[in-house]
Chain A
């Protein structure tokens, strides 16, 4: 399965175990569900909100959503795994998304990806063991005029080379350590 592309979202707060009942974020989620009158066809909208709040969708959170929208858990889980945008696991502190759209690809996006994979010793879709960096790929971010593009922590960076993108990644890794 292709790794998700949840890179454009605001940087989430460090995820707390969603079971904590007094968590304010549940209140915000509840308000969102109320706005949609707890209708089952708002499931994707609700999951977007949930992911924005919690950073990722773990089993407890999915169960909660299923319960509140009166949907079978299988349906909720099915939707969460079907769409690339939804994360079932937390991302690292920094994310680096290499656009693999056609324009970026013919301009050497695979070289960018290989350079980062080589440096961080992880594959696309993985997070470094120290939780500093998640490396992802995107299908196309629609920035083909400035290809090849990389999205580093929600900032789109134009016309990248293996050197420029590695500089960025190295900067993070050093600050983080």
Chain B
């Protein structure tokens, strides 16, 4: 495989395209709503109508508006059909000849679609994720070629630094700096690892990327491997995502067959192999040192840092660990340049972010917006949330609840931190007036309690005690003393836990205490009606 072969495949693929394409989502949410049968129905209808020469039915990745699945889009007519049933397939195809259909029509001019900006999801919902040719036709693997033949490894690292890309897994560490550290560490062996252990409840961005455009992640990993000098990569995927695993396996096999992975990529001296490692259901394995332990076949318990994985990671060798979405950003940055990427977003947060928008709003699904978009734009304009919205939860069990009053907060790493939450991996759950915030705090604490690996004491026992206190409050048996104790415990667990799980476990409690303290106090009042509860900490009740 040389560049000309690649361009030839792209050309051939583009020429083979038919006049009209009917895209049917066969990923994530739509697949669960029975889109495979819809796709078959569409294929049959096209055949029956003898339109095969003109019309192509394509199974594609996520089309974003998951709540209305199965979704079918006709291009280039730009018509979207929602909640399509296999029975409606024939009439949907019939609209091509001017016929009528009872299938629900979607509005592609809705802000939910128009406010999006696609970098990571540029191919999602447009190409068949099971065919490498479809990815190549969208300039796929050209960035890898460009990196290998026109850039030195150092140039690639510089490009990443200049682009301002920050890790999309949640913490937001500058990607370029991480790459530079691994690149400059001397070692005979290095590894590149992709973290696809998307454990945050309420997050499905990585799942969608892997199911919709797996080659993008492979290409990003290969470019990273070239930049840091690694020749072996691992993708650590959750076992709960069987479709994502299957599509990755297909993608790796196809890339190897074409000489885009394996020995002598593009007939150069560069070798890079990728293996899949399947997780086994442990949230803590999203933490980098725990993830590496799991890749080595051990219990996924974290270890203290330093040494950081960049210096001593898998089997003691320098290891570059990035999230799925981070790797998905790499090839566009190489293709279009660091300056282009740096021009998008805010001063300190560049590019776009993919969010899984869910909860009590009208439009739920996947969105990709430029950094700096406000929560209000996302929740109200795109999601269709109204005055009933009470809070937005970001960052999963490590994040916090942002109250409706703070909806004008722009979405970027630093602004979200200021309001007591975090960017996190991209789960965004909208809660309405019906939701009890103390109950939400308890929900997350229960999660952390169960998922604590048990290695360090603050997290192991702290989460149990905090959960116990929250249950006591919800059971209307608590006093002000218990809230004080809860707050104190939060600080202890936050400051003394070994890894990110424990350090961030108190966040949902702290943020709900900060913005919704009255809900906690109301539960106290009920237990001791004679003592008027005030928020001042000196007002301790004496009943224990």
Contact = CB atoms under 8 A, between A and B. Distances in A.
Interface of A: 1-2, 4-5, 8, 40-45, 47-48, 75, 78-79, 82-86, 100-103, 105-107, 138-147, 149, 156-158
Given A103-B202, A146-B69, A84 B443 contact: no
12 contacts: A8-B239, A8-B242, A41-B297, A44-B278, A44-B294, A48-B280, A82-B300, A102-B358, A102-B444, A142-B204, A145-B356, A146-B66
B281 A147 contact: no
Contacts of B443: 102, 105
A100 to B, nearest CB: 7
A112 to B, nearest CB: 15
Nearest to A99: B201
Given A44-B280, A48-B278, A106-B435, A158 B32 contact: yes
A85 B239 contact: yes
B201 A102 contact: yes
Nearest to A103: B358
A101 B429 CA distance: 10
Given A83-B282, A107-B359, A158-B29, 10 more contacts: A2-B451, A8-B240, A79-B298, A106-B435, A139-B199, A139-B447, A140-B204, A142-B204, A145-B204, A147-B364
Contacts of A102: 201-202, 358-359, 393, 396, 427, 429, 443-444
B350 to A, nearest CB: 27
B28 A143 contact: yes
Contacts of A107: 359-360
B112 interface: no
Contacts of A138: 240
Contacts of A79: 297-299
Contacts of B358: 102-103, 144-145, 147
Interface residues of B, number: 55
Contacts of A143: 28-29, 32, 66, 204
B130 interface: no
Interface string B407-431: 0000000000000000000010101
Given A41-B297, A83-B300, A158-B33, A146 B67 contact: yes
A133 B518 CA distance: 42
Interface in B64-88: 65-67, 69
Interface of B: 28-29, 31-33, 65-67, 69, 198-204, 207, 239-242, 277-283, 294-300, 356, 358-360, 364-366, 393, 396, 427, 429, 431, 435, 440, 443-444, 447, 450-451, 453
Contacts of A141: 240
Contact of B198 (A142, A149, A158): A142
Interface centre among B240, B241, B279, B298 (most CB of A within 10 A): B240
A100 B359 contact: no
Nearest to A8: B242
Nearest to A155: B32
A2 B393 contact: no
Q: Which 8 A-B pairs have CB atoms at the shortest separation, nearest pair first?
A: A145-B66, A83-B280, A84-B281, A102-B202, A142-B204, A156-B32, A103-B358, A101-B201
Nearest to B435: A106
Interface centre among A8, A43, A144 (most CB of B within 10 A): A144
A140 B202 contact: yes
B277 A146 contact: no
A101 B203 CA distance: 9
Contacts of B447: 139
B390 to A, nearest CB: 10
A19 to B, nearest CB: 25
Contacts of B277: 44-45
Contacts of A43: 297-298
B361 to A, nearest CB: 10
Nearest to B244: A142
Contacts of A103: 201-202, 358-359, 364, 429
Given A5-B240, A102-B201, A105-B443, A149 B278 contact: no
B32 A149 contact: yes
Contacts of A147: 358-359, 364
B282 A84 contact: yes
A101 B440 CA distance: 11
Contact of A144 (B239, B280, B283, B364): B364
A80 to B, nearest CB: 9
Contacts of A149: 32
Contacts of A139: 199, 201, 281, 283, 447, 451
Nearest to A71: B297
B142 to A, nearest CB: 30
A85 B199 CA distance: 13
Contact of A142 (B28, B296, B298): B28
Contacts of B450: 1-2
Nearest to B275: A45
A71 to B, nearest CB: 9
Nearest to B208: A142
A86 to B, nearest CB: 6
B280 A47 contact: yes
A144 B201 CA distance: 9
Contacts of A82: 282, 299-300, 453
Nearest to B366: A145
Nearest to B365: A145
A1 to B, nearest CB: 7
B203 to A, nearest CB: 7
A83 B281 contact: yes
Contacts of B295: 41
B201 A146 contact: no
Nearest to A105: B443
Contacts of B242: 8
A159 B402 CA distance: 26
Contacts of B444: 102
B474 to A, nearest CB: 13
Contacts of B239: 5, 8, 48, 85
Given A5-B240, A103-B359, A106-B360, A40 B297 contact: yes
Nearest to A108: B434
